[in-house]
């Protein structure tokens, strides 16, 4: 974490710094609500992103948001809440997803928490396999390159997922000579693959180093520092938009609640908390007061709680919808009716 | 008459010009080779991909996410297996997002035996493919159907897997593709790349016309009253030959689409004949045709005069190189005739 806010204020407007804090807090409060929903038996499963706010929020804030190849494409993994909150996702959308309601705009009650999908912002569907987004992302980047768009393709994953073949495929397809793709390829290194530590599956010093062999611009950043994340993400995005070439960014982050509800979703006390540290920095720098921080948290908690209360009353998807949307226009997919 | 490889090439050219296809890619798909079976020679949007099947399917799905249309090739279906979870993802995307994203993309891949391809150039994929909900699966048995199915596949808003029966790719059709010159030598001079240096060669495409074979519609190739034979792809012409050599009146149906499949065509025929034989090349245990046979027993039990039968590839780990091994592993005309006789001779 940056020692003072002075240097940050030279490159990031104060309003942006405060906005970043608010969004990080909002994302954290939302994830805490999702965990409560799971722990009180109102959801089958939770997976999410507490501890990745300092990276995920600036990623969303700095992107070019919209639909179509002129805007940035997002191929996220299942720790995407901070980025979605920064893009403008209402809390209730995430709560409808985890409570698998008919009103869930991402999947209609069909998929897990944090498996977001927002076509209006080019957010590709998040899937449970931890690698497929890396190859799929090359396709949207290819189309952006064809159209000489200033939109770029952003793809995220974890350090454990970088062991999968699609990560290597992404490095190859994004870096072919003369066919380089405008991609920000990121790895959020939280040091774990469920219960396997980084050292147990990697021999390389850093995941970012792997990009060097492919001519990627590479960097490893402190993803627990929102200021550093903001600056480095911005530099990288500017480079990609200007040059049309890929960047591989490894962000060292914390995993504050373990892998998922499957590992308990309890607070891991020895991990660095980026939100707490950032809040302290802002308080010390007189950019934030205790009163303001408390009010923000209270307001977000109220919003999350009220959203849960609304969602609780909403309809579940009905059993007769299982055949819906197998094919476009609900063309019959049930062989019994052929 | 065009062969199937030329028909697919012409369909892809028509698709580039008229159906907004922007990328046709895969290993050796672009110049100079234009596909190991020449099906992509001379196409303006064809390009060579890295030798990476997962990358090919992943990129195709990403292009499709943007709404742009592409045709991706896996050089032999024997090499598609390491993409199976990507294929699953493509198939489930529209459903999993409850209609947020559809993936209009075509994946084509040569399948089946018949070229002495041994273990890794002889596999079939139709039974595997039938277990990928969300995909449409087609497999032509002649050049005209290949042309019409490809145009339908390219224009479909869903992912479509186009299985190319590799043993039939050099076989000429009996019907002209709309716009195809009627002299096959002329066609060859126009669209086949020359041997040797091709760097300055450009095809002269005939003025091709739109022609569709609807996905999900079978074709009754021979009408008959004593036995229904349902097949597709490479084994279809074998079934036709076998039927023509039998003294009984045999109806042969070319299914053409594996999913969705034309149950009404099968049903009408079996209700008429009371006897049915299914033939394909994929391995026989949990074969797609077993599903069709099962459905016949469920829906048409009281119409049946004999047990439905499936003739398929032997349930072996591979197909051996020697002709004796290959021919004993996948259905041949002689096997089909024996099966026809068995079903025809059964007394209810």
pLDDT digits 0-9 by tens, B223-234: 999 999 999 999
Between chains, do B62 and A140 touch, taking CB under 8 Å as contact? Answer: yes
What pLDDT score does A257 carry?
Answer: 96
pLDDT band at B107 (very low <50, low <70, confident <90, very high): very high
What pLDDT score does A3 carry?
Answer: 60
Percentage, residues of chain A above pLDDT 70: 99
Residue showing tokens 């979870």: B85
Pick from B55, B62, B157: which is nearest to A172 by CB?
B55
B124 pLDDT higher than 60:
yes
- The pair phi, psi for residue B188, each rounded to 5°, is -60, -45
Pick from A68, A135, A338: which is nearest to B54 by CB?
A135
A140 pLDDT higher than 70:
yes
Between chains, do A146 and B95 touch, taking CB under 8 Å as contact? Answer: no
A7 pLDDT higher than 90:
no
pLDDT band at B34 (very low <50, low <70, confident <90, very high): very high
Interface with chain A: mutation pick from B57, B66, B262, B293, highest number of A CBs within 10 Å: B66
A1 pLDDT higher than 80:
no
Query: What is the mean pLDDT of the segment spanning B185-203?
Result: 95
Between chains, do B50 and A328 touch, taking CB under 8 Å as contact? Answer: no
Interface with chain B: mutation pick from A122, A135, A174, highest number of B CBs within 10 Å: A135
pLDDT band at B48 (very low <50, low <70, confident <90, very high): very high
How large is the angle between the packed helices A226-243 and A53-61, nearest 10 degrees?
A: 40
Query: What is the mean pLDDT of the segment spanning B140-166?
Result: 98
Strand residues in A169-318 grouped as ranges (E): 183-189, 192-193, 196-197, 217-222, 247-252
**Mean pLDDT in chain A?**
96
Using a CB-CB cut-off of 8 Å, the residues of chain B touching A173 are 50, 52, 55, 59
pLDDT band at B257 (very low <50, low <70, confident <90, very high): very high
Tell me how close the Cα of A284 comes to any Cα of chain B, in angstroms: 45
Using a CB-CB cut-off of 8 Å, the residues of chain B touching A335 are 259-261, 263, 291, 295
Cβ partners under 8 Å of residue A303, min gap 6? A91
Between chains, do A327 and B133 touch, taking CB under 8 Å as contact? Answer: no
Residue showing tokens 């007189």: A286
**Residues B68, B22: contact at Cβ < 8 Å?**
yes
A2 pLDDT higher than 60:
no
CA distance A183 to A179: 12
Residue of B nearest to A131 (CA): B86
| Residues of B designated catalytic | 121
Query: What is the mean pLDDT of the segment spanning A275-280?
Result: 97
Using a CB-CB cut-off of 8 Å, the residues of chain A touching B291 are 335
How do the residues of chain A divide into helix, strand and coil, expressed in percent and rounded to 5? 50, 10, 40
What pLDDT score does A78 carry?
Answer: 96
**Residues A132, A169: contact at Cβ < 8 Å?**
no
A307 pLDDT higher than 60:
yes
List, in sequence order, every residue forming a beta bridge with A187; answer none if it has no partner: A250
What pLDDT score does A5 carry?
Answer: 83
ipTM attached to this prediction? 0.97
Pick from A104, A119, A327: which is nearest to B101 by CB?
A119
Tell me how close the Cα of A330 comes to any Cα of chain B, in angstroms: 9
- Give the end-to-end CA distance of chain A in Å, rounded to a whole number: 62
Between chains, do A325 and B54 touch, taking CB under 8 Å as contact? Answer: no
Q: What is the pLDDT of residues B294-321, one digit of tens each?
A: 999 999 999 999 999 999 999 999 999 9
Pick from B86, B94, B295: which is nearest to A135 by CB?
B86
Cβ partners under 8 Å of residue A310, min gap 6? A92
Q: What is the pLDDT of residues A230-258, one digit of tens each?
A: 999 999 999 999 999 999 999 999 999 99
What pLDDT score does B111 carry?
Answer: 98
- Note if the bond before A145 is cis, omega within 30 degrees: no
Between chains, do A124 and B89 touch, taking CB under 8 Å as contact? Answer: no
What pLDDT score does A6 carry?
Answer: 85
Q: How many beta-carbon contacts under 8 Å exist across A and B?
A: 139
Tell me the whole-structure pTM to 2 decimals. 0.97
Pick from A127, A135, A333: which is nearest to B59 by CB?
A135
Between chains, do B68 and A117 touch, taking CB under 8 Å as contact? Answer: no
Between chains, do B50 and A329 touch, taking CB under 8 Å as contact? Answer: no
Q: What is the pLDDT of residues A201-223, one digit of tens each?
A: 999 989 999 999 999 999 999 99
What pLDDT score does B191 carry?
Answer: 97
Query: What is the mean pLDDT of the segment spanning A192-204?
Result: 91
């Amino acid at each position: 974490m940056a020692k003072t806010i002075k240097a940050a204020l030279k490159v990031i407007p104060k309003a942006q710094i405060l906005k970043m804090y608010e969004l990080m807090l909002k994302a954290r409060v939302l994830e805490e609500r999702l965990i409560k929903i799971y722990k009180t038996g109102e959801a089958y499963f939770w997976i999410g992103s507490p501890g990745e706010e300092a990276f995920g929020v600036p990623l969303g804030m700095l992107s070019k948001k919209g639909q179509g190849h002129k805007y940035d494409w997002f191929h996220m993994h299942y720790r995407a809440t901070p980025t979605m909150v920064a893009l403008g996702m209402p809390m209730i959308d995430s709560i409808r997803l985890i409570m698998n309601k008919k009103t869930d705009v991402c999947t209609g009650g069909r998929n897990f928490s944090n498996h977001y999908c927002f076509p209006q912002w080019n957010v590709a569907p998040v899937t449970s396999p931890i690698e497929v987004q890396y190859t799929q992302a090359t396709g949207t980047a290819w189309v952006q390159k064809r159209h000489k768009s200033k939109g770029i393709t952003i793809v995220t994953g974890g350090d454990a997922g970088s062991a999968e073949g699609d990560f290597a495929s992404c490095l190859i397809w994004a870096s072919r000579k003369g066919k380089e793709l405008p991609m920000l390829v990121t790895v959020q290194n939280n040091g774990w693959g469920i219960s396997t530590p980084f050292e147990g599956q990697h021999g390389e010093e850093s995941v970012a180093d792997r990009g060097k062999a492919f001519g990627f611009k590479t960097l490893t950043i402190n993803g627990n520092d929102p200021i550093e994340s903001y600056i480095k993400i911005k530099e990288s995005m500017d480079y990609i938009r200007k040059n049309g070439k890929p960047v591989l960014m490894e962000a060292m982050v914390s995993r504050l609640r373990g892998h998922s509800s499957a590992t308990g979703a309890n607070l891991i006390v020895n991990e660095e908390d980026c939100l707490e540290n950032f809040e302290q920095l802002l308080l010390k720098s007189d950019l934030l007061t205790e009163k303001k921080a408390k009010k923000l948290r209270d307001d977000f908690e109220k919003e999350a709680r009220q959203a849960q209360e609304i969602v609780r009353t909403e309809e579940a998807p009905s059993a007769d919808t299982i055949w819906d949307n197998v094919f476009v226009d609900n063309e019959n997919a049930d062989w019994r009716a052929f | 008459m065009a062969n199937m490889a030329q028909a697919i090439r012409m369909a892809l050219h028509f698709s580039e010009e008229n159906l907004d296809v922007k990328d046709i890619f895969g290993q050796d798909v672009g110049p100079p080779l234009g596909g190991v079976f020449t099906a992509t020679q001379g196409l303006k949007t064809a390009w060579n991909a890295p030798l990476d099947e997962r990358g090919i399917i992943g990129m195709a799905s990403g292009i499709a996410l943007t709404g742009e249309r592409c045709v991706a090739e896996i050089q032999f279906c024997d090499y598609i297996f390491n993409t199976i979870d990507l294929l699953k993802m493509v198939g489930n995307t529209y459903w999993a997002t409850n209609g947020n994203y559809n993936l209009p993309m075509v994946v084509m891949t040569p399948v089946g035996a018949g070229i002495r391809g041994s273990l890794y150039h002889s596999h079939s994929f139709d039974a595997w493919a039938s277990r990928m909900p969300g995909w449409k699966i087609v497999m032509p048995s002649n050049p005209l159907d290949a042309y019409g199915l490809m145009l339908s596949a390219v224009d479909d808003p869903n992912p479509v897997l186009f299985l190319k029966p590799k043993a039939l790719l050099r076989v000429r059709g009996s019907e002209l593709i709309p716009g195809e010159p009627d002299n096959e030598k002329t066609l060859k001079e126009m669209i086949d790349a020359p041997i040797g240096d091709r760097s300055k060669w450009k095809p002269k495409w005939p003025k091709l016309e739109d022609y569709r074979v609807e996905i999900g519609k079978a074709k009754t190739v021979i009408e008959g009253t004593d036995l229904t034979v349902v097949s597709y792809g490479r084994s279809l012409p074998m079934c036709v030959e076998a039927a023509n050599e039998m003294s009984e009146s045999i109806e042969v149906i070319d299914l053409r689409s594996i999913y969705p499949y034309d149950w009404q065509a099968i049903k009408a025929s079996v209700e008429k004949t009371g006897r049915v034989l299914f033939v394909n090349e994929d391995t026989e245990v949990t074969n797609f045709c077993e599903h069709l046979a099962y459905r016949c027993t469920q829906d048409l039990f009281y119409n049946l005069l004999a047990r439905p039968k499936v003739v398929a590839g032997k349930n072996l780990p591979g197909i051996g190189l020697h002709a004796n091994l290959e021919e004993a592993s996948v259905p041949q005309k002689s096997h089909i005739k024996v099966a026809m006789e068995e079903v025809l001779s059964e007394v209810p």
